[in-house]
């Protein structure tokens, strides 16, 4: 898809732009975030002045084998399912409903992972969702692993089930897509973004700046179904059984960094090479639904004020 610059944030090194291709929004999802101590993690360097992203969704779930063509309906299995308790009620705004507007305060700083995380927490607070608390090993994870963790936290903190983990075939497919700067075409839903300085910035663009006037280049009118498409894929909750994913990352392209992520229904096949269940031991408190409470009150005061 084509790209065009839409917004420059104060202090940011790049203009974040996103594009997507998909037939329609998934049935269920949610989104939001609040303040937390910044956790260091690998960052990327943007070599040009633009950041781009795209998405693709399919209404037919596929297995986690990474193959293209006919998409068989997955046979649910308990193998990759985590032990996280998921409440029946979701928090915040969830698909088919979406936020009324992008969350883009004038003080936004996206040039560092810490700045992106602060912005995510602020945006989550506006939606009534508590802080995004990262695991203690987040800074040691690969970028694809970080994508899975942050996306699962976006889901679990809103009362949705996590994506079980990453499989090698899907990772390879996502990595090829990241290198090419395109959607990974994994199956149910695929998202891509080019140019972010960190995984947190990629999440911010997909989750909180995906509406009209934001970084989603496919959202060309206020009523377009393509608006909030990246967010709808991240928070999709209409695939029966467990979900698996593939994630890929490439730096040094003409637009800088390239992030690709896609989800599919789980069917018996490739084992998980990175799992949400295995990551739970790195949280001080097991992640769950995170409603915004008095202890999470957050109001960012610009340094210039």
Residues 229-273 have pLDDT tens digits of: 999 999 998 877 889 999 999 999 988 999 999 999 887 777 999
Residue 212 lies in a domain: yes
In angstroms, what CA-CA distances link 29 with 120, 244, 248, 275? 17, 17, 23, 21
Q: What is the pTM of this model?
A: 0.75
Mean pLDDT, rounded, for 84-97: 63
How many CA atoms within 13 Å lie on the side-chain side of 222?
A: 2
In angstroms, what CA-CA distances link 286 with 143, 244, 276? 22, 20, 11
- pLDDT of the residue at 158: 94
The answer to whether residue 129 scores a pLDDT higher than 70 is: yes
For the segment 33-53, what is each residue's pLDDT rounded down to a tens digit? 223 333 334 433 333 334 556
At 244, give phi and psi (nearest 5°). Answer: -125, 170
The answer to whether residue 31 scores a pLDDT higher than 90 is: no
Residue 96 lies in a domain: yes
What share of the chain in percent tops pLDDT 90? 54
The answer to whether residue 297 scores a pLDDT higher than 90 is: no
| Residue with the larger pLDDT of the pair 84 and 298 | 298
Mean pLDDT, rounded, for 14-32: 36
Q: Give every CB contact of residue 67 below 8 A, 6+ residues apart in sequence.
A: 169
Residue 7 lies in a domain: no
- pLDDT of the residue at 298: 52
- pLDDT of the residue at 97: 84
- Print the domain residue range for 135: 15-295
From 142, 124, 141, select the one nearest 133 (Cα to Cα). 124
- Residues β-bridged to residue 102: none
| Residue with the larger pLDDT of the pair 54 and 123 | 123
- pLDDT of the residue at 192: 94
Residue 252 lies in a domain: yes
Residue 182 lies in a domain: yes
For the segment 153-162, what is each residue's pLDDT rounded down to a tens digit? 999 999 999 9
Report the chain's terminal Cα–Cα distance, integer Å: 40
Q: Are 71 and 62 in contact (CB under 8 A)?
A: yes
The answer to whether residue 116 scores a pLDDT higher than 70 is: yes
Instruction: Give the number of residues written for the chain.
Output: 305
For the segment 141-200, what is each residue's pLDDT rounded down to a tens digit? 999 999 999 999 999 999 999 999 999 999 999 999 999 999 999 988 999 999 999 999
The answer to whether residue 224 scores a pLDDT higher than 80 is: yes
Query: Can you tell me the distance from the alpha carbon of 78 to that of 134, in angstroms, rounded to the nearest whole number?
Result: 26
Residue 305 lies in a domain: no
Q: Count structural domains, the chain.
A: 1
Mean of the per-residue pLDDT values of the chain = 75
Residue 173 lies in a domain: yes
Q: Is 62 exposed, middle or buried (0-12, 13-18, 19+ CB in 10 A)?
A: buried
Q: Which 8-state DSSP code applies to residue 281?
A: G
Residue 19 lies in a domain: yes
């Amino acid at each position: 898809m084509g790209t065009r610059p839409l917004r420059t944030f104060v202090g940011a090194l790049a203009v974040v732009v996103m594009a997507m291709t998909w037939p329609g929004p998934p049935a269920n999802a949610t989104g939001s975030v609040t303040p937390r101590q910044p956790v260091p993690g690998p960052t990327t360097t943007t070599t040009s002045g633009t950041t781009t992203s795209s998405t693709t969704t399919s209404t037919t779930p596929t297995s986690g084998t990474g193959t293209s063509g006919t998409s068989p309906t997955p046979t649910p299995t308990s193998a990759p399912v985590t032990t996280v308790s998921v409440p029946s009620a979701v928090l915040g705004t969830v698909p088919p409903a979406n936020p009324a507007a992008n969350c883009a305060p004038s003080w936004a700083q996206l040039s560092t992972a810490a700045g992106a995380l602060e912005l995510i927490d602020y945006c989550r607070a506006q939606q009534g969702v508590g802080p995004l608390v990262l695991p203690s090993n987040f800074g040691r994870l690969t970028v694809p692993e970080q994508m899975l963790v942050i996306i699962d936290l976006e889901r679990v903190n809103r009362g949705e089930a996590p994506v079980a983990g990453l499989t090698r075939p899907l990772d390879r497919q996502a990595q090829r897509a990241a290198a090419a700067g395109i959607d990974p075409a994994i199956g149910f839903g695929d998202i891509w973004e080019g140019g972010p300085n960190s995984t947190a910035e990629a999440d911010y663009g997909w989750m909180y700046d995906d509406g009209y006037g934001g970084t989603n280049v496919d959202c060309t009118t206020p009523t377009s179904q393509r608006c909030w498409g990246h967010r709808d894929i991240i928070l999709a909750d209409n695939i029966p059984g467990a979900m698996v994913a593939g994630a890929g990352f490439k730096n040094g392209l003409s637009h800088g960094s390239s992030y690709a992520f896609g989800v599919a229904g789980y069917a018996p096949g490739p084992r998980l090479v990175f799992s949400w269940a295995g990551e739970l031991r790195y949280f001080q408190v097991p992640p769950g639904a995170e409603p915004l409470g008095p202890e999470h009150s957050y109001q960012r005061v610009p340094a210039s004020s």
